[in-house]
Structure 1
Amino acid sequence: MSISLCCCLIVFALTSHVAADFVHIAVNETRPITLHCNPPINGLVKWNRETNGTYSNIITADGDGDMKHTNDARYNSQADKSLVITNVKFSDSGKYYCNNDAAVELTVIPSGTTIKSVKETETVTLKCPDEDEGSDDSKWSRQFGEIPQQRFQMKKKKLIIKDVKQEDTGLYYCGGKPAVFLNVTSRPATKKPFRTMPTSITTTSTKTTTTPTTISTIPTATRSSIPKGSWRSTNPIPKTTESATPLNTATSPNIYMFLSMWIKATITVLVTIIIILLIITNSPTWRLRREADKKTSRLRHQLENDNLEMQVYEV
C-alpha cells in the first residue's frame, strides 16, 4: 500500500509541475518567428512539437550551441534558448514544448486565407472559399479544439457564431481546407482619455500648424508581460478582402505567475518529504531497529518481573 501511495504522490507532483497553459501565437506564412519558454529555463532546453498527436524533437539549446534533431535549416536558437523559425510554413503549426512543459501554440496562417476581425459579443458568419463552391464537402472544423454545439450553427457552406468570445479565435477549416482565420478582440473599457498634447508639424508651405495628439492608453506588450493562454501576433497581418486588425493581446500582472510557481514548488517539496519519510519508515534497517527495540523492552519487563518475584520469595 505504501508503494502505491508513493506512486500516486509522484504522479501528483509531476502533473502539478507540468500543468500549464500555452501562449497562443498567430503568424503569416514566410515570416520569421521566435518562440520563448515561459518562464525561462536554466540549463539545457529541448524543444519539441506536437502535431495531431505526433511528437517530433526539433533542437536542444544550451545558449552556446545547438544540437539539432532535424535536417531543417530553418530551426535555430538564440542565447536565451528561444526557438527561431525562419520562413515559417503552414506545417510548422502545432503545440511547442520546452523540456516537455507547455510553451507556445503556434498557428501559421496560409497565404490567401481570409482574416476576419470582430469584437466580443458580436455575431459573425464565416464562409467557405469561393473555389470550393462546387464541392459538396462543407463540414467545418477548427485547427485546435472542437467546435461546440452551443453558439455555433452550420448552414450550408456557412458557419454562424453567436456571441463570439476571445476563445473562439483561431483558424477554421471548410471541407478540410483552411478557410478563415477569426480574430476576436475584447471591447475596450470606457475610460477618460489622457490629456492631449500639441505637436508642431511643418507643411510644404513652411507654415506651422498645431495638431492635437492623444497619448495611447494601451501599453506596449513585451514578452515578459504576455500571460499564458493569451493570443498575440508578432508580425503584421496583411489586409485581405475582410478588414483585419492586429490580434488582441491580453495582459495580467506577473504576480499570478510567481504565485503559481511558488505553489508548485511548495507542493513538490512537501511531496518529496513525504516520499522520503515513507521510504525510511519502510526500509529493512528501520524495521530491524524497531524489532530490536521491542525485544529489549520485553527483556527489561521480564527482568523487572523476576526481581519482583525474588523480593517476594525472600520476604
Structure 2
Amino acid sequence: MSEPDVGSYRRPDNLAEALTLLDRRPASVLAGGTDLVVLRADGTVDRAHDIVDIKGLSELRGISRDADGTLTIGAATTLRELAWTTVVPPNAITDGAALVGGWQTRVRGTLGGNICRASPAGDTLPGVLAAHAQLELASTTGTRLVPAHDFFTGPGRTVREPNELLTRVIVPASRGASAYLRFTYRRAMDLAVVGVAVHLEIENGRCVAARVALGAAAATPVPAPEAADALVGTELDKPSVAAAAQLVLNTATPIDDGRGSRAHRRTVLPVLAKRAIGIALERAREGHPR
C-alpha cells in the first residue's frame, strides 16, 4: 500500500510570500495550530495540502488603536496577548479570548484562527459580531473587507476563499462598552454550551445603541437584533433588561448535541443575556470606551 500524499511545510518570510504560496496550490494556514494539528491528524483537513506557517509574520500580529479610536488586531495575535492587552479596556472580544481552552491553548492559538475555524461555539466570535468588526481578507490580487455578520456561512465554513488570508480584525470606534459570557459545565478547557455578547452605548442614563450576539445557539454565531432593539431607549432597568434578555430566544435555533439539549440552551440563554447586559452596563457606567 502506498503512503498517502503529504503536502510540504512552508514558512514564508513575509505576507506577500505567504499569499503567493496560498495562490499556488491548496494549502492550510498554520497560525497557532491548536485546531489544525488535530483536524489534519483525523483527516478532516486534507493532508495532501501544503502547510503555510504564518506564526513568524510580524505584519499579522499586534493590537493598536488609531487616534480616532479604531481598534486593529492582527489576525495572528495570540489569544493570550489579546486577553491581557492594556490597549483597550476589557470588552466582549477580550472576554472571549480569555476563555478559549486552557492557558497553553491561548499562548498558541490566535484570534484569526479562532475566527476562521468558524465553530458556532467559538468564544471570540459573538464579541466580533457585537463589535460590528470588519474582517480584512488579503490575496495576491488585493484585499477586501467583510463585515463579521457576513463572514460565517455554516459550522466550520466562511466566505474566505482558499487563496485568501485573514490579516486584520478592524473594530470601529465606539463610545460604548461590551461583555461576553458563556455557560459551560466546567470552569475551563470546555466549549461553550451557549454564549452571549452584548454591546451598549449610554447617554444621559439611557441606552442609545445596543447589539447582542449569540454563540452555540445556531449554525453560526448570530446577531440577536430584537433583543438589542428592545434595550434602546430604556434606562436599562431590571424589567427592560429582563424583557430584552427573553427576546434572544426569537433568534436562537439551538440543537441537541453532546454538550447540551436544545431545551437547556433555551433555558440558559436569557439568564446569560441578562448577566452579560449587566456587565456591559457596569463597564459603560465606569466610562470604558469599548
For normalisation by structure 2, the TM-score amounts to 0.22
- Higher CA-based Rg: 1
More helix by share: 2
More strand by share: 1
For normalisation by structure 1, the TM-score amounts to 0.21
